[in-house]
Structure 1
Amino acid sequence: MIRFNVNIRAAHLAVLMAIVVSVSTALVWAPVADATTKPPGQTTTVEVYDDFGMSGYSLANYQQKWSNPYGPGEMALSDTRSFAKGSFKVSAVPFRTGADFSVFDHLKYIAISNKAFQVPATGSVEISSTIKASTPGTQPGRVIHGNYVMSGAPYAQPTLEGQQAGVVMNVIDFSTGQLFDWFVSGSTAFALIERLPSSVTGNAPEGSPDYVGREKMYTQIIKQIPSSPGAHTVSIRINRSPSGGSVDYLFDGKLVAHVDSVGIPLDVQGVPYSGIYPSLGAGEDLVGKVNSVVIGHGLFSLLDAFPFQHPEAPELAVSIPLSERLFGQGATGTFDDFRVKTIGR
């Protein structure tokens, strides 16, 4: 009788243990319907476009991924590009190249991805990378001097640190000229939105519906934030749906700026921004036109007066001598982990 009771208890214990294991397994493996569950029909892909991590990564590998359509810039004088420790480093300290024409003073070094990335009709594409920036020789609030070309009147304007020298990630649609940037400098970072004119991109002849001139072009610094030494993750996310489009700027995963109605200048929309630079026209809503983008990265300055000597605004053209453009400032940038996250619906 005692043996029979022990056997019953053992059987009960075995059943109980089986139930506990079964419930525990269900708790571990059962799908949970929470906020992270994808909506029906949503697809998400993440592509690591370049992380410079391949053993023996060299300039030849780099050139398979990136091109320099505007020339080598500062690298023509001293090619500092290197790929140590699984990242890309480029330096120009001090800057030695300059130009008093259009936007070409801005490009100390720029490389553009050889691949374009689609913007879903409904969904988003998010470009991100890590940037470590050093900008020696920049001066707080330095005033840049020049002269208006037509009148000869003096020009003087204070500049942000990142305008003097910046380490930059670009997201660009060359077919429309629409561009989104993060400028990172020694102690600050700023988000910029811009539509380049056709005189720069060559996307369309004058008279074409796609031509970008005085009424559509704009360059505006949205917001500046403090930064710190070390690497930071910058992200630009383009959102699109049948009802409209927008762009988000994130710094170390935190939303810094959000812009609706991409293609229409911020001051036209009545949206607060840094005040650099006021637009000249109404712009154009580009929600249905920005269908793909490429990635850029490099070293920049942004010292000119908008609209950067554009022929349709001669009264606003400003000439700035090289002595004002090159005053001992420079930039060293380290880039890594270029990723593209696409969410489609």
Structure 2
Amino acid sequence: MKTALPFSGYSRVAAIFLLSLASVNPSVVADETGNYTVKYDAQSITEYQQKWANIYGPLELAAGGSLSVSEQEIVVSAIPFQVGADFSVFDHLKYIAVSTQTFQVPEHGSLEFSAEIIAHTPGTQPDRLIQGCYGPAFSYLSPTDPCDIPYQQTVLEGQQAGVVLNMINFETGQLFDWFISGNKAFALIERLPTVVTGSPGTGLDLAYTQIIREVDIKAGKKQRVAIRYSRGPDASFVEYFLNGELFARVDNVGIPLDKQGVPYTGYAPSTGDGEPLKDRLNSFVIGHGLFSLLDAYPYQHPDAPELSVSIPMSERLFGQGAAGQWSKFKVQQKVQQ
């Protein structure tokens, strides 16, 4: 049974919880240079629940999905997806867990999150066309309904269903993601607006969501992914690594890619100039989960009603799903001397 979730309450509760995480200090031991490495795996469901929080509730786990934890890996399965929402960014979330520890970023140095991922995303379709209608949330319930201004967009495989590693700073809403699907991988950079995070000061002129680059991968094979944020007196950049190789780099974190004039996939043009965030990106948490990304940016934001697109549930949930396996979560801090 497909379920449309009411997220207004979830968003308020999650925002409070997310902001509270920013004050949590991780129990890490650095060497004399300030460097450290932390393994962030869980050996049991009890340890998993101590290390990770389902801040938006069980999502697919309440609709037939499953979670298992062993010494070797974490496995989350939702085949097919059953939950969705024609509201804000909340259709994107099929399962998400964020670390209950935060990890600090040195003023001069880097913080890196990494993991190994195996992704299965049955039901995804090459060149899947998503149809909707310009208008407020919940205004277009079926592709057969009349529509004054139609919307359609061809979406990537990983937008239909993805197994994800997140690096998130809740104070600013800035995040970096790896999306792994059955045959593809892509890197995403995003700054969530205040209406999503609850953290003040991020309007549409500062928010953005952009897919940097996509690549083919071998189906069913383990992918080693890493995200490294670095900063210094004159630098603020993020690097994405795939199987030990540099995949993408974004400088001037906080400024959208199109405003920097650098190549990206075209999803999605920004609505403002952004702002440099180097002095505010002082900590991050790790996230992992199952996602989709089928909506039109800026996701029914109240400050841009002319850009709002309503997408029916039948276009959001069309038989696709995801099963993700995560292992070898690792956090590394390196201080530049």
- Could you state the TM-score of these two structures normalised by the residue count of structure 2? 0.85
Distance in 2 (alpha carbons) for counterparts of 1:65 and 1:280? 36
Please name the residue that 1:24 is paired with: none
Letter in 2 for 1:73: L
Distance in 2 (alpha carbons) for counterparts of 1:220 and 1:182? 12
Kindly indicate whether residue 239 of structure 2 is the aligned counterpart of residue 243 of structure 1: no
Kindly indicate whether residue 208 of structure 2 is the aligned counterpart of residue 212 of structure 1: no
Distance in 2 (alpha carbons) for counterparts of 1:293 and 1:84? 25
Distance in 2 (alpha carbons) for counterparts of 1:66 and 1:202? 21
Q: Secondary structure at the match of 1:89?
A: strand
Q: Secondary structure at the match of 1:335?
A: strand
Please name the residue that 2:176 is paired with: 180
Distance in 1 (alpha carbons) for counterparts of 2:78 and 2:310? 24
Letter in 2 for 1:331: A
Kindly indicate whether residue 96 of structure 2 is the aligned counterpart of residue 106 of structure 1: no
Q: Secondary structure at the match of 1:63?
A: helix
Aligned residues of 2:65 and 2:79 also touching (Cα < 8 A): no
Note the alpha carbon deviations across 1:40-89, whole angstroms, 9 max, x for none: x8442111011x3x3xx2x2221100001111110012241012462100
Distance in 2 (alpha carbons) for counterparts of 1:234 and 1:194? 18
Letter in 2 for 1:244: A
Q: Secondary structure at the match of 1:214?
A: coil
Shift of 1:152: 3.3
Please name the residue that 2:192 is paired with: 196
Distance in 2 (alpha carbons) for counterparts of 1:72 and 1:121? 36
Letter in 2 for 1:192: L
Letter in 2 for 1:213: G
Please name the residue that 1:260 is paired with: 251
Which residue, 328, 335, 339 being the options, matches 2:319? 328
Which residue, 60, 63, 67 being the options, matches 2:49? 63
Which residue, 227, 250, 257 being the options, matches 2:217? 227
Which residue, 274, 281, 302 being the options, matches 2:293? 302
Alignment of 1:111-130 (within 5 A): 111-130=97-116
Distance in 2 (alpha carbons) for counterparts of 1:167 and 1:290? 25
Shift of 1:99: 0.2
Q: Which is higher, the Rg of structure 1 or of structure 2?
A: 1
Alignment of 1:92-171 (within 5 A): 92-149=78-135, 152-171=148-167
Q: Secondary structure at the match of 1:286?
A: coil
Question: Sequence identity, in percent?
Answer: 56
Q: 5+ unaligned residues in a row in structure 2: which ranges?
A: 1-31, 137-146
- Could you state the TM-score of these two structures normalised by the residue count of structure 1? 0.83
Distance in 2 (alpha carbons) for counterparts of 1:106 and 1:95? 11
The worse-fitting range, judged by mean Cα deviation, of 77-86 and 180-189 is 77-86
Aligned residues of 2:48 and 2:69 also touching (Cα < 8 A): no
Q: Secondary structure at the match of 1:81?
A: strand
Distance in 2 (alpha carbons) for counterparts of 1:212 and 1:324? 30
Distance in 2 (alpha carbons) for counterparts of 1:213 and 1:95? 31
- Cα RMSD of the aligned pairs, angstroms, is 1.2
Distance in 1 (alpha carbons) for counterparts of 2:65 and 2:184? 26
Kindly indicate whether residue 63 of structure 2 is the aligned counterpart of residue 77 of structure 1: yes
